[in-house]
Structure 1
Amino acid sequence: MEDHELIKRIKENDLQAYDRFFKKHYKPMVIYIRSFSNDLDVAEDIVQNVFMELWVKRKELSISKSVKGYLYWKAYTSFIDQYRKDKRRRDLLEKFREESIRAAIPEDHELMNKRAHRLNELIASLPPTCKAVFELNKKNGLRYHEIADRLNISKKTVESHMNTAFKKIREGFKNSGFILFMIRKLMFKA
């Protein structure tokens, strides 16, 4: 049975048509959304919500062109909405975490500036590829596989460069007693 005929029957409250429509499109849509999120649970939730909304709003459905195109568009826009909500939530949690850390540590601007300067010196002293890998990850927020693609190197090589960078930075701060994870924010200010 064609999609347009199934939609027509769904609009008439035909649960069997809805079940056939769901079974026909569910798995391919999950695969499609998973290609964006790489998270099966997220993809399944999004697709299930699209189908739930389809049933709830079945009387108002007006699909003039491709039913499949409509479904995939709804799933994609739902994914984008979910991604934005999750990003806002992550940003808010990151801000809260940073504020909590700052509140727990007495500020010494001169000391912080010296440490930021030292960090910049250590980063500048890294070998060129190691420095590029480190900055692409820490300043630009790229993931290891994205860096590997951009620099045309393997993911293992990226991991090796990151380990080297962290080792040199740890050694550079070895005698200061400074906790390295707190300096992350300084990299963006300095």
Structure 2
Amino acid sequence: MQEVYSDNTELIHALKTGDPKAYTYLVNTYHHKLCVYAYNFTHDRSLSEDIVQNVFMRIWNKRENLKEDFVLISFLYKSVYNEFIDQYRSQKAVYPLEKKYIDALNAIVENEDEHSLERIIKLVKREIQNLPPKCKEIFLLSKEEGLTNIEIAEYKNLSIKSVEAHITKAYAILRNSLGENTNIYLFLMFG
């Protein structure tokens, strides 16, 4: 039977004392949510799981340093995001435009709690689902699948100009509904 911790302070105290049941509870409770969150950045299930595992290992290894007034769930989400950024930077040179988006994302993560981030992700997904069907399909082929405009044109038997028009229309609709942070939100979702 799994241990249940009634509040944040109790769980952190149990973790600090090295209680393996507390660690098991932490992993069982948050692993899936954090993997889904990490996947929004990586679009790679294996990498997402690695990121989350690294966060859990770091928490266990540094458990004595946990402060009992931490809001653990916020700390977990922020740690996953920071681990993603660390891995992203180590695997790829950060170009100026990417740096601009990463800095903007850092500002959002610093100023928002996990519920706000989840809300932003849900909002973006909902707005994408509200795009006209053809526009949505082409936009997702470009952003989710990573296909080039030429590949989409060949796959959908369309002209390149038509593909470009659909993607431009999608951006215009999303910019209209999501506001000035549209590009940052899309970077958050699709990298």
Structure of higher RCO (CA pairs closer than 8 Å, 6+ residues apart): 2
Please tell me whether Structure 1 or Structure 2 has the larger radius of gyration of its CA atoms. 1
